[in-house]
A and B are shown apart, each in its own frame.
Chain A
Amino acid sequence: MDKHAQQRRAAESSAHIESRHVDSRHVDLGRRSFLTTGAAGAVAAGLGATESAAQGAMRWDMTADVVVIGAGVAGLPAAIAARDAGASVIVIDENFDIGGRGMLSGGRVQLGGGHALQQKFNIKDDADKVFADWVRHDHGESRLSDRDLVRVFADENVTTFNFLIENGVEFIEKPITPPDASTVDRIFVTKEWHIPSEVVAPHRNRNGSGLVRRLAESARKKGAQILLKHKMTSIVRESYNRGRVLGIVVQAGDRTINMRATRGVIVATGGHTGNVNFRRMFDPRLTEEYQQACMPYADQNASGEIAAMDIGASLWATGMQTIEAGAAITKTRHIGCRWGYATLVYETDSIMFPQAKATGLTVKDWQNLIMVNQYGKRFWNEADGSFKFFNAAMAWHGDKTKLNGGGPIWAIFDSEAAAREKWNTKPPNVDPDGWFFQADTLAELAGRIKNPYQKQPMPGAALAESVARYNSFVTDGADKDFKKPTPMHKIEKPPFFAAWSTPILHDTNTGLRTTTDCQVLDTRGEVIAGLYSAGETQGGFAQHGLGRCLVFGRLAGRHAAKNAA
C-alpha cells in the first residue's frame, strides 16, 4: 500500500478511537480480535479489569508496562533497560526483522567519556570533554544542540558503553577519530554478526548487524517480546490533547490490536527522511525524487513523530535539520541504482537484493563522469561533496511545471571512463529498469532515460552540447563553468551511459521535544504523561549515528519503566 493510503488509514483509526472516547457505548466488539500471547509471563492478554472509567471505552487486546515502537538502535536498548528496571515490555516493529537502519550501518558507535576501551588505548576522555565538544559554537553539528540533552548524553556515555558490553555487544579494538565535532577518538566499531544469513547486507562491513542482533538477543532473553510486522497506527491518549498516553493501536496484517502501556509508550521509530510531506516542513526542496538511504530495508516514515504530534507533541531544535553540515543529504557514490548511498551496497546474496535490484557502480574518481540535471545540463563541480553541490543539484533548473526540488541528476560517462573505473555496466551492477541507460550516441542516450522522476524527456541536443562543452574544458584544462579541477577526460568513446546520481537523503536531525528523561513535551511545554521518545525521532541533539540513539534509548526505557501507572 502506498504511503498516502497508510497515512489515511492511520488518521482514520485515530478518528475512530476519538469517537469511542466521547461515547463509551459505541464499542464494536465484533471487530476486535482478542489475542493470547503465550509469551513467557511478560505480557497479559485480554482486557484489564482494573481500567479506569476514562479507558472503559477502549478494549485492550494486549497489555504491558512499557510499549516500545521500533526495534532499532534506540528501541532495543529501551526495551532492555525497561526489563532491567522490572517492567514488562512489548516492542513492535513494522519491518519483517529488527534493527532498522542500525542493521545496515557500519557499526561505528560513538561513545566516549573515558570508558574501558578508551582507557586501553590511553585515550584521555571524560564526560565534560564530551559535553564541551558537543556544544561547540564553531561546528555546525554541535552549536544548535539542546545543551540539557547534551549534558545527559555526556554523563551517560560510559554507562551506556558498559551497558552494551553487559548485553553482549562486542567491539573491534581499534579506536577511530570521529569526523565531526568530537576532538577525541570515541568511535569503536562493533563486530559483525556471526550468522551470515542474518546479516542483511553482507560483505560490506555493515557491522551494525552485530550491534542490533546482540541487543535483540539480549532483549528477548530478558523477556521483552518483540513483535515484527506490527505497525503502530496511532497513539492513544485520554483525550486528543490532554491526559495520559494509554497505549497504541497496532496493525498486524489485517488484525487491529489495541495495546495498553500502563507505564509508558516509547516512540523510537527512527526519524522522517522517507516522508516527503514531513521532511519538506524543514526544507521544501526535498520533493519526491530524493530517495532515502537504507531503503528498501528500513523506512524512516515519520510515523512516530506524526502520531505524537497528533496528540499534541512538539518538535524541537528544528533548525538542526538544515544545517549545511553532517549527513542529512549525501552524494550517491553508487550510481545506476535507486538507493545508491555512500557505503551501503546490497550485494547479490543479500536478502534485500530482489528489491534493491542492483549493487550500483561505485565512483572512485569524480574525474570519470559529469553530472547533468534532467535537462541535460551540468550544474556544478562534480568533485565537490559540500552542500554547495547539493544546493546546486536541488536548484530550480527551468521546469515550469515543477518549481520545487531539482529533479533527477544523471551521471554521464563513456566506455573509456567505465574501463578506468573498472565498471561492469551490466546487471546486477546496474538497474536498467529506470536507473541506468546505455546508448550508442548521446542524443539517443538522452531519449532513453525513462524514470518516474524524469518528467519530460531529456533533450538530446542539450546533452550533446553539455558534453561537447565539457570536452572543450578538457582540452583547455580548465572548467570555465564550475571549476572542476583540471578536467582530465573527454567523454567521446561509445557506448555512452547515464546513471542515476541524484543526492540521497539520510540523517534526521530533528524530532520530538523531550525532557532530559526522554519524556515528550507538548507545544505548551507540558509533559505528555506516559509518552517518551529516543533516537532519530527525538529532537535536540543530532550527533550522527548510533551512540546517541543508544544512550537515549536506554534512558527512555529506564524512565518509562519507573513511571507511575
Chain B
Amino acid sequence: MKAGVKSSDGMPLGGGRVELRDGTGAVVASALLGDVPWPGSEALYWAEVALQAPAAPGPLALSAHFGGEDVQEPHEPASSAFNVNVVAPAEHTLTVTVVAGGAPLADAVVRLGPYRAPTDASGTAKVRLAKGRYELVVWKTGYAMTATPVAVEADTSVAVATQPVPEENPDAVWTA
C-alpha cells in the first residue's frame, strides 16, 4: 500500500520515514518517502509500504506515523488511523460476462465482496477471488446496478444481464 505525508508549508519530505503500526502500537512496516510528490498533488511525499497480511481475514485497524525529525526541515509528528480489509488469497478465477440490452457491456466494474475486475470490450471480466459466497455486483454509470448471489468453489463462469437507466435528464425529472 501507499502512504503519503504532506507538510503544512509544502516543504520537501523526501527521505523521511513513515511507519505503519497495529492496534497495539507495534510497528508492522515502514518505508522512506520518495523525493517526487504524488502526481497531481501539491507536495504529497509518498512511499510504497509492504506489509505482511495477518493469518485471519477481516478488517485490520492500522495507523500511519511520521516522526518528522529525519527530513530537511524538522516537522511535528503526525499520524492517521485507517483500516484495511484482509482477505483470503485469491485461488480461483470467476469469468463473468455482462450484457446490457442484449449487447456486451464493456468498462463495467464486476465486484464480489473485496474482489473486483473491469469488463473488457467483449463484456467479459476475469475476477480472481477466494472460495465463498458472494453478491456479484455489476456497476457502470448509466446502467442499473445488479446483485446476483454466486457461490464460488472452483474456477467457474457466470453470465449477468443489466439494462440501461436513462441519465437523470430533463425528460425524467422536472427542470426549468
Contacts and interface: CB of A to CB of B under 8 A. Distances in A.
Interface size class of A (residues with CB under 8 A): 35 or more
Nearest to A368: B141
Contact of A294 (B114, B139, B176): B176
Interface residues of chain A: helix, strand, loop or mixed (majority): loop
B141 A208 contact: no
A472 B111 contact: no
Contacts of B174: 179-180, 326-327, 544-545
B18 interface: no
B59 A486 contact: no
Interface in B148-176: 167-168, 170-176
B8 to A, nearest CB: 8
Contacts of B4: 440-441, 494
Nearest to A363: B168
Given A420-B141, A486-B145, A494-B40, A506 B85 contact: no
Interface in A175-214: 176-177, 179-180, 205, 208
A106 B170 contact: yes
Interface stretch (A6-14, A127-135, A276-284, A336-344): A336-344
B167 A364 contact: yes
Contacts of A364: 141-142, 167
Interface string B24-58: 00000000000000101111100000000000000
A108 interface: yes
B44 A343 contact: no
Nearest to B171: A176
Given A106-B170, A365-B141, A468-B81, A441 B6 contact: yes
A367 B6 contact: no
B85 A104 contact: no
Contacts, number: 101
B173 A444 contact: no
A343 B170 CA distance: 7
Nearest to B37: A440
Contact of B135 (A477, A488, A545): A477
Contact of B59 (A104, A415, A472): A472
B167 A495 contact: no
A477 B113 contact: yes
Contact of B139 (A333, A444, A488): A488
Contacts of A444: 6, 8
Given A176-B171, A342-B168, A494-B40, 12 more contacts: A341-B176, A344-B175, A385-B173, A439-B6, A444-B6, A477-B111, A477-B137, A494-B41, A494-B44, A495-B40, A495-B42, A544-B174
24 contacts: A106-B170, A108-B170, A179-B172, A327-B176, A333-B168, A341-B175, A343-B175, A344-B175, A368-B141, A420-B141, A439-B6, A439-B42, A440-B6, A441-B6, A441-B44, A475-B85, A477-B111, A477-B113, A477-B137, A486-B111, A486-B145, A494-B44, A495-B40, A544-B174
Interface of A: 101, 104-106, 108, 176-177, 179-180, 205, 208, 293-294, 326-327, 333, 341-344, 364-365, 367-368, 385, 415, 420, 439-441, 443-444, 464, 468, 471-472, 475, 477, 485-486, 488, 494-495, 506, 544-545
